[in-house]
């Protein structure tokens, strides 16, 4: 299968644009337990790609990709988003550099993918970067989950919809 030159770059830019729009919209809605935990569970369905042999990678590579995402790349996301109580709801407040961090992470991922793509197949590269992204998102959302629980506990509020008044 031959892919037209630039298709990957166009796809990456469109994906990045979609993520940025989603992040903007998400920041205007109350944070709930569901909005924190559903994205990683929804993303986890992507692991079904590994049923196709072409996507399979060595366990060590998969573990390394997951750890890079979970330990290194999730930290900027964790440090640039905070949960706060505004009026009667829990909201996410992103720092002014949040979107710059997302852009830098996207650039690092794109250029690393290009380099790694010369070493292993396109499908294996996609699989590794999916695992990396999953590690990053799962760790970031786990951090948000614990911050959410702590915020509700500090304000002696029940864990619920994120909307604090009855």
The rounded percent of the chain whose pLDDT value lies above 90 is 40
Q: Check residue 165 and give its pLDDT.
A: 46
Q: Check residue 23 and give its pLDDT.
A: 63
Q: Check residue 71 and give its pLDDT.
A: 95
Tokens for 78?
Answer: 């964790």
Q: Check residue 166 and give its pLDDT.
A: 37
Arithmetic mean of pLDDT over the chain:
82
Tokens for 94?
Answer: 């992103």
| pLDDT tens for each residue of 143-164 | 999 999 999 888 876 655 455 5
With beta carbons less than 8 A apart as the criterion, state whether 68 and 100 touch: no
> How far is residue 129's CA from residue 37's CA, in Å, rounded to a whole number?
21
Specify the range with the lowest mean pLDDT, choosing from 6-15, 65-74, 127-136, 146-155: 6-15
At residue 72, φ and ψ (nearest 5 deg) are -100, -55
Q: Where are the domains of the chain?
A: 7-154
As a dihedral over the C-alpha atoms of residue 8, residue 13, residue 14, residue 19, rounded to 10 degrees, the angle is: 130
pLDDT beyond 80 at 74:
yes
């Amino acid at each position: 299968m031959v892919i037209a030159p630039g298709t990957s770059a166009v796809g990456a830019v469109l994906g990045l644009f979609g993520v940025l729009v989603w992040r903007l919209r998400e920041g205007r809605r109350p944070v709930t337990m569901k909005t924190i935990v559903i994205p990683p569970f929804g993303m986890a369905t992507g692991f079904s790609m590994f049923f196709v042999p072409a996507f399979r990678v060595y366990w060590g590579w998969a573990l390394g990709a997951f750890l890079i995402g979970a330990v290194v790349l999730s930290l900027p996301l964790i440090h640039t988003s905070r949960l706060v109580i505004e009026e009667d709801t829990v909201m996410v407040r992103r720092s002014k550099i949040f979107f710059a961090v997302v852009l830098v992470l996207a650039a690092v991922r794109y250029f690393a993918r290009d380099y790694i793509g010369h070493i292993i197949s396109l499908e294996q590269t996609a699989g590794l970067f999916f695992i990396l992204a999953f590690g990053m998102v799962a760790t970031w959302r786990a951090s948000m989950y614990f911050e959410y629980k702590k915020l509700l506990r500090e304000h002696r509020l029940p864990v619920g919809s994120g909307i604090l008044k009855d």
